[in-house]
Copies of this chain bind each other. A is one copy, B any other.
Amino acid sequence: MSKLRSAPTLEDVARMAGVSTATVSRCLNSPDRVVKATRQRVLSAVDTLGYTPNFAAQVMAAKRTFTIGAIIPTMENAIFARGLQAFQEELHQRGYTLLVSSSAYKPDLEEEQIRTLVARGADGLLLIGHDRDPKIYEYLDRRKIPVLVAWSYLPDAQVPSIGFDNRAAMFELTNRVIGLGHKRIGMISGISAGNDRARLRVEGVRDAVAQNELAVSDLRIIETPYEIENGAAAFSNLMSKGTRPTAVLCGNDVLAVGAIRRAQEMGLRVPQDVSITGFDDIELARIATPALTTVHVPHRDMGRKAALELVGMVEKTADGTALRLPTTIVERQSLGRPAKP
């Protein structure tokens, strides 16, 4: 033992008790919020080491609630579940508890939930995507609440983001589709107003159509909320008017699963008669028959890195650096060459 007789630190207590320093702080400042067994272990370590918390550390700890808020657009279809689970696991490691709200893609509701989480003392917030009323960012800035955006990487946005390039990802997938010989493309997009992820995915499709010099009039786009039934209805719509597309790109896996179901009800084989692709690579994509060719989003990696960065912002050890994560195309069975005309 080289560290002879120096005063024991918070870190020493944490190490001896086998917990994070946040947990030690919490035991000392709000013992009520710590499970009994943990509290006893920490207090016994405090006792053994003769630790005396210093005043500055106490004040700092007391100002924190060790609560992080996240607002996701929906809990349905588990679109955000895997990323959020990883986010929570990493937060838990660092001694923070996650509280989640779901806004049903409604800006008013999201605003109310942001105000509630701030009023309830959240130390920091995770939000999905960038599009929202600027006065919300002003409000959070005034309150000095660290905010991180996930699921959409935009380096020049007002708040830092950890996510992926929705436009580039959809551009790459559309290029792949066009490369197989498809010329008449349909797209079933989510509602793009107030949703930068949806908007940028549409832009990605448009970019690829333009770059491959396809007729823009051959690109038909329908916007509809992200629900299976809506994907089915939009697919019917695309197939019933004018020349049928040979490939239908969907804004996410949920819409794609609806499109596949309707194709089968219409007696169309996927991908022999029509190709259908998704976006996100959630569980549904593998369960669909045929399994979906889709854009794989690094859900767990994104969730974990977002937690690390946001905790760093709360603890003032990180300044909120935007980070772009890669996406990949997962080839399964729903995309093929177009039928010979």
Find A117's partner among B99, B117, B284 (CB 8 Å cutoff): B99
**Range of interface residues on A (Cβ < 8 Å):** 35 or more
Asked whether A288 is an interface residue with its Cβ less than 8 Å from the other chain, the reply is yes
Asked whether A92 is an interface residue with its Cβ less than 8 Å from the other chain, the reply is yes
Check if B77 sits within 8 Å of A81, measured CB to CB: yes
Residues of B close to A97: CB separation below 8 A: 101, 112-113, 116
Check if B32 sits within 8 Å of A119, measured CB to CB: yes
List the B residue with the shortest CB-CB distance to A258.
B287
* 19 A-B pairs (CB sep. < 8 Å): A32-B115, A32-B119, A33-B112, A33-B115, A34-B115, A35-B112, A66-B116, A75-B78, A75-B85, A77-B283, A85-B104, A97-B113, A99-B99, A100-B101, A120-B120, A120-B121, A283-B284, A284-B284, A289-B289
User: Chain A, 82-98, contact with B by CB distance < 8 Å: what is the 0/1 string?
Assistant: 10110011001000011
Most buried by B among A75, A109, A119, A284: A75
Given A97-B113, A108-B35, check contact A76 B65 (CB 8 Å): no
Residues of B close to A112: CB separation below 8 A: 33-35, 97
Residues of B close to A288: CB separation below 8 A: 287
Q: How far is the CA of A88 from the CA of B289 in the complex (A)?
A: 33
Check if B287 sits within 8 Å of A257, measured CB to CB: yes
List the B residue with the shortest CB-CB distance to A80.
B75
Residues of B close to A33: CB separation below 8 A: 112, 115-116, 119
Per assembly, the copies of the chain total 2
Residues of B close to A284: CB separation below 8 A: 283-284, 287
- Give the 7 A-B residue pairs with the shortest CB-CB distance, closest first: A75-B81, A289-B289, A120-B120, A97-B116, A78-B78, A99-B99, A100-B100
Find A81's partner among B76, B101, B120 (CB 8 Å cutoff): B76
Residues of B close to A88: CB separation below 8 A: 102, 104
Asked whether A30 is an interface residue with its Cβ less than 8 Å from the other chain, the reply is yes
Residues of B close to A115: CB separation below 8 A: 32-34
Residues of B close to A113: CB separation below 8 A: 97
Residues of B close to A287: CB separation below 8 A: 228, 257, 261, 284, 287-288
Asked whether A111 is an interface residue with its Cβ less than 8 Å from the other chain, the reply is yes
Asked whether A21 is an interface residue with its Cβ less than 8 Å from the other chain, the reply is no
Check if A30 sits within 8 Å of B119, measured CB to CB: yes
Given A75-B78, A78-B78, A283-B228, check contact A102 B116 (CB 8 Å): no
